[in-house]
């Protein structure tokens, strides 16, 4: 047996072995070429082969685009066609006289047989339907989550790059409402105690502390420090020798509570943003002079939700609270610009419907004390307090950010209530005669809900 005959036998054996697999997914395996034309167009899976049989012997054949399909003759009536790249080309058969027998339309399509196997292995139970269209892949059906949809599309791109049509839909609830709570408590305590003395006689004069400021002096009105709210002064002696003592004290306390609760709803896989605040103008030097840029401040929220399988919600979140702080501002070229105090958290979490996470917590405790004294004199027991000044500051801040995610569906507009539903404009009679700044309330379903009083016990109560 010659090598050529052996090669043909092996090729025919491979074709017959692959025939059941390809026939299972609807690919034509044998195409008969008749004397007056072909029975149908030839569809060849990529990286697979089919056989073309001719009723009449041919002497010559050619393929228009060898990059799309490759051909090999098995006999004078049989052609072996191998699909290489998705696309269309033409197979031409000529007889011994050089006349045209027929032109066969060859279409190489992606091998969806292997693709279906990979889909069933990677995404079992998703029910994704795979079809070919022209030289691409069409995906249809309903998947459980946007993650499964993205995975199917990414896998299809490997088999048919740039030629994937997505007709899939995501089942279940795919809208996420995110509730974010910012809670911040700030407490500050400041205490200041300073003392100064002035001694004067006919021959000398000495001052310490506040007595060195302004026009303070023996026998003159005292000028206390701008940061002092309480001052006490007393003097001893006469005109020949006089001693004056000035005590200044200040204690301040402050508590600040900040709470904001922004809510935002977005579709799974789509980013949403929220800003409740404003824009602050900031001068910026450029080639044309000074221009104005605006910087956002207030409550900011950006998040990207993804609903996974079993209603698990994956959230990429960026939340921030900022405010204008003049204490950290700057002045340049006579222009004063305030700074910003900003608390921000950026993270990714995964939770179920109705569950919450405390995604950020900050406990800040700043302590500072300063003591100043006259050298040596400030070290004298008891009396040394007259030559010392002390300042004590302590700032404590605690911040917690809590997020709660809910899967939501739209409802009819009548079921939603607004803060303005409980308030109506007064009539002229109600305003001028009775001094009412609001009317008697809305009518209809909204008014009925607004007039209900839910204070105290209500509903069904079961007691043992």
Indicate which CATH number applies to the domain containing 54: 2.60.40.1080
Percent of the chain with pLDDT over 70: 79
Do 154 and 51 fall into the same domain? no
Do 160 and 94 fall into the same domain? no
Residue-wise pLDDT tens digits, 60-111: 888 999 899 999 888 888 888 998 888 888 888 888 888 888 888 888 887 7
Do 359 and 319 fall into the same domain? yes
Q: Using 50, 70 and 90 to split pLDDT, how confident is the model at 464?
A: very low
For the chain, the domain total comes to: 4
Do 440 and 340 fall into the same domain? no
431: phi then psi, degrees, rounded to nearest 5: -80, -50
Do 290 and 399 fall into the same domain? yes
**Contacts (Cβ under 8 Å, ≥6 apart) of 425:** 438, 439
Cα–Cα distances (Å) from 299 to 84, 171, 176, 180, 348, in that order, read 57, 33, 20, 10, 19
Do 395 and 325 fall into the same domain? yes
pLDDT at 447: 58
Do 276 and 401 fall into the same domain? yes
Distance CA 303, CA 437 (A): 40
Q: Exposed/middle/buried for 425, CB within 10 Å: 0-12, 13-18, 19+?
A: exposed
Instruction: Answer yes or no: is pLDDT of 395 > 80.
Output: yes
Q: Using 50, 70 and 90 to split pLDDT, how confident is the model at 208?
A: confident
Residue 458 included in any domain: yes
Most confident of 142-151, 168-177, 306-315, 351-360: 351-360
- Domain interval for residue 159: 112-170
Residue-wise pLDDT tens digits, 273-312: 988 888 888 888 777 777 888 888 888 889 999 888 777 8
Residue-wise pLDDT tens digits, 347-392: 999 999 989 989 888 788 888 888 878 787 777 887 777 777 888 8
Residue 283 included in any domain: yes
Do 296 and 431 fall into the same domain? no
Q: For residue 428, what is the enclosing H or E element? A: helix 428-432
The per-residue pLDDT of the chain, averaged, comes to 78
Instruction: Answer yes or no: is pLDDT of 20 > 50.
Output: no
Instruction: Answer yes or no: is pLDDT of 237 > 60.
Output: yes
Residue 355 included in any domain: yes
DSSP state of 126: S
Residue 434 included in any domain: yes
Indicate which CATH number applies to the domain containing 118: 3.30.1340.30
Hey, CA dihedral for 110, 113, 119, 125, is it positive or negative? positive
Q: Using 50, 70 and 90 to split pLDDT, how confident is the model at 141?
A: confident
Q: Would you call 137 helix, strand, or coil by DSSP? A: strand
Do 47 and 126 fall into the same domain? no
Do 278 and 402 fall into the same domain? yes
Q: For residue 356, what is the enclosing H or E element? A: strand 356-373
Q: Would you call 114 helix, strand, or coil by DSSP? A: helix
Do 458 and 397 fall into the same domain? no
Residue 104 included in any domain: yes
Mark 240-257 as b/e (b = at least 16 C-beta within 10 Å). Answer: eebebbbbbebeeeeeee
Structure tokens at 186: 């700030």
Contact 307, 292 (CB under 8 A): no
Residue 274 included in any domain: yes
pLDDT at 310: 76
Say which residue, 244 or 164, is predicted with more confidence: 164
Q: Would you call 74 helix, strand, or coil by DSSP? A: coil
Do 162 and 301 fall into the same domain? no
Residue 354 included in any domain: yes
pLDDT at 101: 84
């Amino acid at each position: 047996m010659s090598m050529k005959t052996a090669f043909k036998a092996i090729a025919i054996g491979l074709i017959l072995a692959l025939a059941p697999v390809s026939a299972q997914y609807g690919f034509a395996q044998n195409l008969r070429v008749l004397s007056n034309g072909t029975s149908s167009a030839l569809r060849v899976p990529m990286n697979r082969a089919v056989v073309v049989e001719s009723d009449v012997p041919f002497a010559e054949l050619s393929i228009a685009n060898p990059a799309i399909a490759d051909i090999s003759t098995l006999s004078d009536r049989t052609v072996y066609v191998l699909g290489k790249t998705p696309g269309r080309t033409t197979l031409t058969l000529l007889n011994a006289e050089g006349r045209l027998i027929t032109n066969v339309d060859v279409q190489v399509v992606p091998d969806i047989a292997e693709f279906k196997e990979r889909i069933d292995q990677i995404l079992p139970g998703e029910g994704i339907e795979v079809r070919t269209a022209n030289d691409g892949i069409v995906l249809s059906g309903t998947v459980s989550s946007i993650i499964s949809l993205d995975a199917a599309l990414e896998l299809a791109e490997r088999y048919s790059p740039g030629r994937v049509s997505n007709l899939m839909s995501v089942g279940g609830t795919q809208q996420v409402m995110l509730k974010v709570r910012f809670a911040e408590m700030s407490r500050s305590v400041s205490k200041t105690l300073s003392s100064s003395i002035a001694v004067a006689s006919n021959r000398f004069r000495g001052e310490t502390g506040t007595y060195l400021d302004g026009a303070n002096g023996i026998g003159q009105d005292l000028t206390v420090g701008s940061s002092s709210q309480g001052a006490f002064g007393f003097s001893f002696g006469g005109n020949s020798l006089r001693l004056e003592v000035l005590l200044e004290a200040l204690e301040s306390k402050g508590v600040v509570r900040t709470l904001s609760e922004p809510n935002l709803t977005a579709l799974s896989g789509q980013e949403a943003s929220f800003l409740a605040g404003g824009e602050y103008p900031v001068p910026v030097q450029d080639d044309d002079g000074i221009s104005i840029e605006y910087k956002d401040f207030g409550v900011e929220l950006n998040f990207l939700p993804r609903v996974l399988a079993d209603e698990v919600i994956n959230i990429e979140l960026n939340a921030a609270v900022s405010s204008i702080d003049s204490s950290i501002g700057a002045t340049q070229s006579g222009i004063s610009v305030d700074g910003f105090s900003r608390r921000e958290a950026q993270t990714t979490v995964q939770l179920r419907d109705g569950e919450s996470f405390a995604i950020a917590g900050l406990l800040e405790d700043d302590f500072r004390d300063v003591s100043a004294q006259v050298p040596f004199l400030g070290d004298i027991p008891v009396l040394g307090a007259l030559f010392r000044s002390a300042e004590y500051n302590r700032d404590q801040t605690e911040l917690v950010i809590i997020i709660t995610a809910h899967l939501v569906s739209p409802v009819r507009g009548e079921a939603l209530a607004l803060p303005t539903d409980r308030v109506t404009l007064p009539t002229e009679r109600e305003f001028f005669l009775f001094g009412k700044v609001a009317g008697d309330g809305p009518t209809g379903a909204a008014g009925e809900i607004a007039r209900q009083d839910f204070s105290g016990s209500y509903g069904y109560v079961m007691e043992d």
